[in-house]
Amino acid sequence: MSSEDPTFEDILKHIDRESEHFVVRLETHHHSGREVTVVEPHRLTKDESSLREIARQLKEALGTGGDVEDGRIVLHGEQRTKAKNELVKLGFNEENIEVI
C-alpha cells in the first residue's frame, strides 16, 4: 500500500460527503434584516467542526462573510447558485443539494 492510497477514514469521509443532503435558501437575517444565504445540512447532528470547515471553504471561495448559526451555515448576500456549485466542488453530490 503506497502513501497515496486512501485510509479507511478518508473513504468514510468521502461516503459521508456523497450521502450528505443540504437545503440552500435565501432568508432575511433575523438580526440585521439583510439577505443571507442559508446552507442547512439535512442531518442536524452534523458535527460543528466539519460544518465550520465547510463554512470557511464556502466563504473563501465566494468572497463573502458569514458564520455557523444554530447548526446552519449563514452566508452574506444572495449566494444560492454559487454556494451549490462550491459544495459540488467540495465533493458533495449535486443531486443531494436542494436550492429553494
Grid cell at residue 43: 442531518
Mean pLDDT of 60-87: 96
Who has greater pLDDT, 98 or 43? Answer: 98
Residue 19 CB coordination number (10 Å): 12
Which residues have CB under 8 Å from 69's CB, separation 6+?
Answer: none
**Hey, which residues does 97 pair with through a beta bridge?**
22
81 — pLDDT class (breaks 50, 70, 90): very high
Tens digits of residue pLDDT in 1-34: 445 676 766 555 555 556 688 999 999 988 889 9
Mean pLDDT of 36-52: 82
What is the CATH code for 27-99?
A: 3.30.780.10
Orientation angle between helical segments 80-89 and 48-62, nearest 10 degrees: 110
Domain ranges of the chain: 27-99
Who has greater pLDDT, 57 or 19? Answer: 57
Which has the closest alpha carbon to 88: 58, 60, 65?
58
